[in-house]
């Protein structure tokens, strides 16, 4: 698995990272043995960045991942978790809760330190609270040796400049903005690189839109986006190809975006992702799919407070 530098952190991260939210059972039950096999296979194949959060499975994902990693030497993987979001509508970015959350995550993950701690989905709260309370708390945790690097995440791209113009960060985690129909994250790269920030991309399949499978009921995309993506998936199927494979290959192709997280729940998915990114991307198919998706180019959906979108 090819690795890239994550900003100026010094971390070498794989172009495909292990998104651990499925280990919390959010897409169906995952047996402990199945999770352990997936994690071991990922490390063997060089997918050695693991990203998780207390929100995923309401802490279950952290517990399952911690168990799976417990027999693996700590220097063989990069570990990231989050603070601030604890339920569908439960957010708390106060300094006290951030520090307590870190301690809880360390216990569940069975480690003494994590490599990256990220403020999770900050668009749902006043950004001044993130800047004034959460980020200083993360700095305190870093000074105490409980985290090496700190960052923020969320859907609206505007949140990054708002925060970074006021406080320095090591990383940002953006999702659904470097896909076959949305190049918004790539457009932000000159600014982010000038800030010397490590860029983490997530959700290359746009939370299931860019696959042939059914969408979850909670998906926020409008019908026009859904219809265009279904047409793209049908076109790939007629060509004997996979829209999901093309989507992942596209998302890892930009050298300015060091890593792309994708949700993984099994050894089969680990092996499939590793095989896909090792294959050359079909330029002809890419052009055809981009033409189908052209009517929704740059389209997204609202997330969080209107003041932060």
| pLDDT tens per residue across span 118-157 | 999 999 999 999 999 999 999 999 999 999 999 999 999 9
Condensed to tens digits (0 to 9), the pLDDT of residues 47-98 reads 999 999 999 999 999 999 999 999 999 999 999 999 999 999 999 999 999 9
Active site residue 191: no
Within a domain: 239: no
Within a domain: 271: yes
Within a domain: 231: no
- Report the C-alpha gap between 242 and 261 in whole angstroms: 19
Within a domain: 287: no
Overall pTM surpassing 0.85 (yes/no):
yes
Total domains in the chain come to 1
Within a domain: 274: yes
Per the residue annotation, which of 55, 56, 86, 175 is the catalytic one?
A: 56
- Report the C-alpha gap between 304 and 97 in whole angstroms: 20
Within a domain: 38: yes
Task: List the CATH number of the domain containing 85.
Answer: 3.20.20.100
Within a domain: 217: no
Within a domain: 224: no
Domain extent, residue 270, equals: 3-208+245-280
The owner of tokens 């400049």 is 161
């Amino acid at each position: 698995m090819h690795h890239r530098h994550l900003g100026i952190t010094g971390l070498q991260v794989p172009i495909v990272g292990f998104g651990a939210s499925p280990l919390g059972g959010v897409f169906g039950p995952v047996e402990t043995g199945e999770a352990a096999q997936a994690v071991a296979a990922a490390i063997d194949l060089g997918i050695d960045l693991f990203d998780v959060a207390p929100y995923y499975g309401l802490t279950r994902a952290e517990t399952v991942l911690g168990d799976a990693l417990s027999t693996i030497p700590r220097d063989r993987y990069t570990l990231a978790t989050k603070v601030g979001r604890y339920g569908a509508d439960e957010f708390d970015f106060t300094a006290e809760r951030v520090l307590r959350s870190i301690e809880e995550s360390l216990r569940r993950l069975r480690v003494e330190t994590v490599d990256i701690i990220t403020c999770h989905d900050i668009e749902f709260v006043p950004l001044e609270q993130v800047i004034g309370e959460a980020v200083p708390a993360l700095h305190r945790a870093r000074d105490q040796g409980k985290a090496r690097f700190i960052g923020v995440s969320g859907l609206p791209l505007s949140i990054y400049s708002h925060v970074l113009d006021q406080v320095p960060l090591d990383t940002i985690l953006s999702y659904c903005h470097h896909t076959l129909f949305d190049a918004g994250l790539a457009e932000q790269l000159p600014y982010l690189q000038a800030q010397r920030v490590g860029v983490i991309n997530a959700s290359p399949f746009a939370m299931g839109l860019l696959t042939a499978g059914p969408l979850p009921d909670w998906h926020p995309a409008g019908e026009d986006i859904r219809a265009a993506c279904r047409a793209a998936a049908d076109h790939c199927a007629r060509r004997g190809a996979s829209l999901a494979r093309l989507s992942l290959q596209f998302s890892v192709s930009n050298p300015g975006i060091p890593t792309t997280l994708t949700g993984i729940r099994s050894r089969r998915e680990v092996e499939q992702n590793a095989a896909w990114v090792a294959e050359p991307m079909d330029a002809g198919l890419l052009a055809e799919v981009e033409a189908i998706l052209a009517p929704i180019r740059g389209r997204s959906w609202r997330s969080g407070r209107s003041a932060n979108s």
